[in-house]
Amino acid sequence: MTVGIGGGGFLGVAFEVTMGTYVAPTKFFPIKSEKMEFMEAQVQRRTIRQSVDAIGTVVGNTHIGGPIDMELLTEALVYFLHASRNTVAKVVGPPAVYTYTPSSSFTPPNKTLSITTVRDGIAQGWVGCTVSNFKITVGTDGIGMFQCDIIGMDEATQSVPGSPVFPTTSPMGSGSYNVQLPTGTQVADVDTFSLDVKDNAAPEFRQYTDRKPRFVGFKQRDVTFTCERDWQSRAELDAFKAGTVESTRVIATLDTNNIVQVTCAAAVKTTYQITGLTGEGDIIRATQTRQGNLDAGTGKAYEIVVTTLESV
Per residue in 161-171, pLDDT tens?
Answer: 988 999 888 89
Residue 100's domain comprises 8-39+59-160+171-308
Domain assignment present for residue 49? The answer is no
Domain assignment present for residue 195? The answer is yes
Q: How many domains does the chain have?
A: 1
Beta strands at 113-119 and 37-40: parallel, antiparallel or unpaired = unpaired
Domain assignment present for residue 52? The answer is no
- Is the pLDDT at 252 greater than 70, yes or no? yes
The predicted-structure confidence for 56-68, as pLDDT tens digits, reads as follows 999 999 999 999 9
Are the C-beta atoms of 138 and 177 separated by less than 8 Å? yes
The share of the chain scoring above pLDDT 90, in percent, equals 86
pTM (2 decimals)?
0.92
214 phi-psi bin (left φ>0, alpha ψ -120 to 50, beta other):
alpha
Domain assignment present for residue 2? The answer is no
Domain assignment present for residue 54? The answer is no
Are the C-beta atoms of 81 and 113 separated by less than 8 Å? no
Domain assignment present for residue 87? The answer is yes
- Is the pLDDT at 85 greater than 90, yes or no? yes
What 8-state DSSP symbol labels residue 293?
P
CB atoms within 10 A of CB 186: 13
Instruction: Give the rounded distance of the alpha carbon of 257 from its chain centre.
Output: 22
Question: Residue 239 is which amino acid?
Answer: A
Domain assignment present for residue 3? The answer is no
Averaged pLDDT for residues 97-108: 87
Averaged pLDDT for residues 200-206: 92
DSSP string, 116-144: EEEETTEEEEEEEEEEEEEEEEE-TT--E
Domain assignment present for residue 44? The answer is no
CB atoms within 10 A of CB 3: 5
